[in-house]
Amino acid sequence: MAYENSTFLSSPDGRMFRIMAEYSEPMARFRRECIQDTVVFFGSARFHGLDEAEHALQLLANTGSAAPAPEDEQPATPEEVERGEAPASRLRLAEAAVEMARYYEDARRLAAMLTTWARTLPGTRHRFVVTSGGGPGIMEAANRGAYEAGGKSIGLNIRLPFEQIPNPYITPELNFEFHYFFTRKYWFAYLAKALVVFPGGFGTLDEMFELLTLAQTEKLAKKITILIYGSSYWKQVINLDLLAEKGAIARKDCELFQFVDTPEEAFQLLQQELITNHLEPDFDAGRHAKGDGIPSTPAPSAQEVLGPDIAKTR
């Protein structure tokens, strides 16, 4: 039978069906797990928690890779620092590793705070579920924080040419692996009600600007909160104000995002905007006309009642 023909399904002629599967299969799982919407955490895959960074932390060779980077790209060990044998370049990497580990701990704490609050919200579906790219580093921190708070979390992993492993804190039923970057990005964008961008590299920049572009062009028919975490890092990496000064973007486009520097500040903004934009007025509160109780709009579809809240496009 054609649908059991793995040679055909793996061929160029089967590409359409593989793409459809990366839409339909996650949809079925999100529906089964009662996921309504998400808050996405982006950030570097190359760093670990503070406890590891202060000891023998190894940088990864590539984003999501299980292999360590070459020796000369590794931070100095505590023993080398103590003996005064650490080259300047590796000493700077060691200092940066500890600095970046702070962001790991901040992402972990923010994810826990968000999950603890989201679990108190009424309803049959899970709201504002912490979602990451499923790998190590900041992604692991986000899933770990949600796990430690007793909530579900999602990992949208991507198959890469080199060895990789998903982090152990993802809810097993919500651990996805995609072949296509664009289908993975679809699920990042269309379920998210907010985005928190921690320090990262090419992948983080790509994902951040993708969501900023969708917000700027109003292609998504929803309000999405975008927080850029770690102003000291990001303002050295990119100068978004300069884009406005040179006329490359409108001045009002700088209102699409906000810089934050602590988990408490980020959580306060997230909670405030998620309540304002997505909890008030509640979906059911304004659906019926007052007085005789006759519905003013059609009854919700099965997708609206049971499925994930996929944003409409304009």
- Within 13 A of 217's CA, how many CA atoms are on the CB side? 10
140 contacts 155 by C-beta, under 8 angstroms: no
Q: Which of 1-10, 48-57, 135-144, 213-222 has the highest mean pLDDT?
A: 135-144
**Residues 228-255 pLDDT 10s:** 999 999 999 999 999 999 999 999 999 9
If one compares 78 and 103, the residue with the highest pLDDT of the two is 103
pLDDT at 68: 63
Cβ distance 228 to 211 under 8 Å?
no
And the tokens for 28?
A: 């079925």
Q: What percent of the chain has pLDDT over 70?
A: 75
Whether 309 has a pLDDT exceeding 90, the answer reads no
pLDDT at position 90, please?
55
Residue 291 predicted with pLDDT over 50: no
Smallest CA-to-CA distance from 137 within 20, 49, 29, 17 is with 49
Q: Which residues pair with 178 in a beta bridge?
A: 158
Show Cβ contacts of residue 148 under 8 Å, excluding neighbours closer than 6 positions.
Answer: 108, 112
Question: Residues 186, 20: contact at Cβ < 8 Å?
Answer: no
**Lowest model confidence (mean pLDDT) among 13-17, 135-139, 157-161:** 157-161
Look at residue 288 and tell me whether its pLDDT is greater than 50: no
User: pTM score, two decimals?
Assistant: 0.82
Q: What is the pLDDT of residue 79?
A: 55
Q: Give the CA radius of gyration of the chain.
A: 21
The domains found in the chain, sorted by start residue, are 33-306 (3.40.50.450)
pLDDT above 80 (res 5) = yes
Q: Is 271 exposed, middle or buried (0-12, 13-18, 19+ CB in 10 A)?
A: middle
Predicted pLDDT of residue 46: 81
Torsion angle (degrees, nearest 10) of CA 45, 207, 233, 51: -20
Question: If we measure between CA atoms, which residue out of 78, 77, 143 comes closest to residue 104?
Answer: 143
Residues 148-204 pLDDT 10s? 999 999 999 998 887 578 999 999 999 999 999 999 999 999 999 999 999 999 999
Q: How much is the average pLDDT of 5-26?
A: 94
Q: What is the pLDDT of residue 73?
A: 57
* pLDDT confidence band for 296 (50 / 70 / 90): low
Q: What is the pLDDT of residue 185?
A: 96
